[in-house]
Amino acid sequence: MEETKYAVVISTVPSMEVAREIAHDLVENMFAACVNIAPKLTSVYEWDGKIVVEKEVLLVIKTKVSFLDKLIERVEEIHPYDTPEVVAIPILAGNKTYLDWIDSAIDPMRKSEEDS
């Protein structure tokens, strides 16, 4: 099997407003090709010795493995949680035209050409 080039990153946020802000930032700055926003998620977890049940919004972020460190760093900078969930899952296979689109959507050369 060849090395994984693409990843899906998941993160939860407290509201649709925050979800849209983070999604827009990641796409605009070419850390991600696409961010799906899935509302009405219920998260159950332990925090500070208590079981917490929270309404959250799920972000499903498509990117390249080579951008993961920068993407994670950016999410940590702009995310309102002290400890945001940012988990990367490798994409083992996919539709070639979709994967090619990810390449073109976050190609840093495209950004420099647009700025010229």
Q: pLDDT, tens digit, for every residue of 34-93?
A: 999 999 999 999 999 999 999 999 999 999 999 999 999 999 999 999 999 999 999 999
- For residue 5, the model assigns a pLDDT of 93
pTM for the full predicted model: 0.88
pLDDT at 4: 86
Contact 8, 60 (CB under 8 A): yes
Does CATH number 3.30.70.120 belong to domain 6-110?
A: yes
By CB neighbour count within 10 A (0-12 exposed, 13-18 middle, 19+ buried), where does 115 fall? Answer: exposed
Helix (H) or strand (E) holding 74: helix 68-78
